[in-house]
Amino acid sequence: MAGCLCCSFLASAADKLVLNIGLLHPYSTRDENDFIHTLVAALSRELKLPIELLIYQGAYERELINANQGMEDGLAARSAGIEKRFPNLIRVPEEILTIEVVAFTTARRIDTSSWEALSPYVVGYVSGWKMVENHSSKFFEATAVSDAEHLFQLLGAGRADVVVYERLDGLAQAKTLGIKVQTMSPPLANTKLYMYLHQKHAALVPKMTEALVKLKRNGTYKRLYDAMLAK
């Protein structure tokens, strides 16, 4: 990621935003033919402001650090509350997406009615997923890995009883790796995702909020969601 600082400089000079995002299939993908890229493109047109998405594979903690330091202009999709630890980030209050965070196992069904229900197990998760990290002290043992591929390899090798991850991306990862998994119900969390901007762009937060609301009201959001996700 050596080019991040340069990207940030160019963004400022060209009067555009550079937001970072991790890969989370099918919401954000390497080929950019996904819901978040198309939504951001619509938002860019609405604001008449170029917005570039800088993709990180894994490194969810690095996304946060770089955005908080102003190396990029913000985050495209993260859960609420990270501003408590990264105070230079301002949340755009209109959500862009809700995802399901679930427990995956390879053999048995387990209780997932609460985070505490995972306390007897060795639980794997992706480093930087704050909602899981915040509960990790409740588990018998917690193991953090760098990305989703390593997470499901951990599960497939029997080095974790349970892994916690987003439902659709988790199923795609398991299928790619040839690992048979079960998704537990109910979800551990239905998590709303938001955009964040570095505080140097604080004046843009109300405008971005208004633009997102408009895209929902005029049907653009639903059209993009149906085309990309409701398949």
Residue 14 has pLDDT above 70, yes or no: no
Q: What pLDDT does residue 2 have?
A: 33
> SS3 of 100, please?
strand
- Measured torsion, CA atoms of residues 222, 219, 11, 94, in degrees rounded to the nearest 10: -70
* Percentage of the chain lying above the pLDDT 90 cut: 73
Residue 63 has pLDDT above 60, yes or no: yes
3-state secondary structure 70-84: CCCCEEEEEECCHHH
| pLDDT, tens digit (0-9, with 9 covering 90-100), for 131-173 | 898 899 999 999 999 888 999 999 999 999 999 999 999 999 9
Q: Are strands 141-145 and 122-126 parallel, antiparallel or unpaired?
A: parallel
**Full set of structural domains in the chain with CATH:** 4-97+192-228 (3.40.190.10), 99-189 (3.40.190.10)
Rounded-to-integer distance, Cα 168 and Cα 154, Å: 18
Q: What pLDDT does residue 1 have?
A: 35
| CA 152 from centre of chain | 17
Which of 109-123, 128-142, 182-196 shows the lowest mean pLDDT across its residues? 128-142
| CA 4 from centre of chain | 19
> Which residue shows structure tokens 């990621």?
1
Tell me if 89 sits within 8 A of 83, measured CB to CB. yes
Band of pLDDT at residue 4, cut at 50, 70 and 90: very low
This prediction's pTM: 0.82
Residue type, 221: Y
Which of 134, 172, 130, 120 minimizes the C-alpha distance to 151?
A: 172
Residue 3 has pLDDT above 80, yes or no: no
Q: What pLDDT does residue 89 have?
A: 97
Burial class from Cβ neighbours inside 10 Å (0-12, 13-18, 19+) for residue 47 reads middle
* Percentage of the chain lying above the pLDDT 70 cut: 93
Residue 106 has pLDDT above 90, yes or no: yes
Tell me if 22 sits within 8 A of 15, measured CB to CB. no
Handedness of CA 90, 223, 226, 38 (dihedral sign): negative
Q: What are phi and psi of 209, to 5 degrees?
A: -60, -50
Tell me if 79 sits within 8 A of 194, measured CB to CB. yes
Instruction: Centre a 10 Å sphere on the Cβ of residue 55 and count the other Cβ atoms it contains.
Output: 15
